[in-house]
Structure 1
Amino acid sequence: MQIKDAVIAITGGGQGLGRAMALLLARHGARLALIDLNEEQLDKTAAECQSLGADAHYFQADISQEAAVELTFTQIVSTMGRLDVLVNNAGIMRDGLLVKMKDGKLEKKMSLEQFNSVIQVNLTGTFLCGREAAAIMAEQGSGLIINIASVSRAGNMGQTNYSASKAGVSAMVVTWAKELGRYGVRVAGIAPGAIATDMTAQMKPEALKRMEQWAILGRLGEQDEIAHSVQYIIENDFYTGRILEIDGGTRV
């Protein structure tokens, strides 16, 4: 698929990885539909894309809410005429141990609210956005859905909720690819390792050093390296049903 003039929706498009993806795709002439909860950041990123000559619009929505997602994708098609690519990028982290012990006694448990809050955004939100995009693309007879997973999908200490959500997101890639291929719709995923973001920049030096050492390359990934992977999947029409691992050879 050519990026130029393709209508590409990005959830979590106002900041972080979503912003990096949007700017890279804007430089290649994409028409962008940015989805996020933070309107201020959405407006700023959309303006940056427009300054690069791109047709960019933003849609404020809570992707964990079905009605909001349905309305958003209706508005995208109404505003932009079609939908060629969805990047399911939005996600949150609320890390914690399943149980925390001190001196042989239970000190804390991961709450159901802590677990569900991550599942609702990362997994339910990905499902809802993917479903709405799939319905549009199947009728068009073409399209691409990219789910942003994580190396944590294999299981990572302190991330019961996050790992479970990203394992589910990864399983959706294979399931949807098998279901939607007959309609000309590809589905793929990207599993980033530890990436340099505003969040990692605020971490304690010792924690940051530990993350860097997880990767064979001995450094954090750059946001543009993930954005470039999105570009690759869009442009490679034979890539579907697979997860592209961009993690510097991470070994946790």
Structure 2
Amino acid sequence: MDLKQSVIAITGAGQGLGQMMAITLAQAGAELALIDVNDDGLVDTQAQCQMLSAKALTYKVDVTSETEVVQAFRQIIDDFGHLNGLVNNAGVLRDGLLIKYKDGELSKMSLEQFNTVMNVNVTGTFLCGREAASQMILTGSKGVIINISSVARAGNMGQSNYSASKAAVATMAVCWAKELGRYGIRAAAIAPGIVQTAMADQLKPEAIERLKQMVPVARMGEASEIAHAAKFILENDYYTGRVLEVDGGMRM
């Protein structure tokens, strides 16, 4: 795909990986549809993209709401005329052990804690992927869908909900590649290791240090390195149905 004047939608575009991906793609000449629930973050990302002379429009959307997602992708087509790519980046963490028993006290991961992560990370990815693919097909646009997974998809202590969600979005990307190829739509996933973002900042310092020790390159990843991976997938027309691990050699 030639990114110049291609229209790429990015969820979770108001901060972290989403913001860096938007800036990276703007530098490559893409036009951006920026999606998030955070108004201030969207405005910030939009301003940075516009400084690079890129067309960038914002859409305040709760990705767990089918109505809002359907409306947003229809509006993107009204605003841009077509859609060539989607980066499904929106996600949340609500870490905790499944069961914790200490000093005679038993605590459990709550259903709300589990469902919040699954709704945003899995349902949101499903809804946005479905609507992006629908609009690509209706407008006759070849395109690419990238789901942001995680090295945690292999299973990580204290992340039953997050690990399950990231395994699910990786698997969905493989399914979509097989289903959508006939329409000229590719699908893939990126599984980052621990990356320096606001989400990583939610982890306890001791957890971050433990994770760093598991990384052969002995450091956290940079958001720009994950953005570069997304750019590669978008530009390489033979890449589909695979999960690209960008984790510094880390293995869970």
TM-score grouping bracket, smaller chain normalisation: over 0.9
Conservation of the 8 A alpha-carbon contact between 1:155 and 1:163: yes
- The residue that corresponds to 1:119 in the other structure is 118
- The residue that corresponds to 1:53 in the other structure is 53
Alignment coverage as a number of residue pairs: 251
CA separation of 1:184 and 1:162: change in aligned 2, threshold 3 A: same
CA separation of 1:165 and 1:223: change in aligned 2, threshold 3 A: same
CA separation of 1:201 and 1:72: change in aligned 2, threshold 3 A: same
- The residue that corresponds to 2:39 in the other structure is 39
Distance 2:75 2:199 in 1: 31
Instruction: Give the superposition deviation at 1:208.
Output: 2.5
- Opposite residue 115 of structure 1, the aligned amino acid is F
- Opposite residue 22 of structure 1, the aligned amino acid is A
- The residue that corresponds to 2:95 in the other structure is 95
- For the aligned residue pairs, the C-alpha RMSD in angstroms reads 1.2
Instruction: Give the superposition deviation at 1:200.
Output: 3.5
Alignment deviations for residues 123-181 of structure 1 (CA, whole Å, 9 cap, x no partner): 00000000001111123151110000001111111001101111110110111100000
Instruction: Give the superposition deviation at 1:245.
Output: 0.2
Distance 2:201 2:126 in 1: 30
Determine if the alignment matches structure 1 residue 21 to structure 2 residue 21: yes
- The residue that corresponds to 1:181 in the other structure is 181
- The residue that corresponds to 1:75 in the other structure is 75
- The residue that corresponds to 1:219 in the other structure is 219
SS at match of 2:244: strand
Distance 2:231 2:91 in 1: 20
Conservation of the 8 A alpha-carbon contact between 2:12 and 2:35: yes
- The residue that corresponds to 1:240 in the other structure is 240
Conservation of the 8 A alpha-carbon contact between 2:92 and 2:199: no
- Opposite residue 123 of structure 1, the aligned amino acid is V
SS at match of 1:35: strand
Identity, % of aligned positions: 59
CA separation of 1:222 and 1:4: change in aligned 2, threshold 3 A: same
Normalised to the residue count of structure 2, the TM-score between the two structures is: 0.97
Distance 1:30 1:213 in 2: 37
Conservation of the 8 A alpha-carbon contact between 2:82 and 2:141: no
Alignment deviations for residues 88-107 of structure 1 (CA, whole Å, 9 cap, x no partner): 0000000000000113x452
Conservation of the 8 A alpha-carbon contact between 1:43 and 1:58: yes
Determine if the alignment matches structure 1 residue 63 to structure 2 residue 63: yes
Distance 2:204 2:175 in 1: 39
Normalised to the residue count of structure 1, the TM-score between the two structures is: 0.97
Conservation of the 8 A alpha-carbon contact between 2:100 and 2:107: yes
Conservation of the 8 A alpha-carbon contact between 2:188 and 2:242: yes
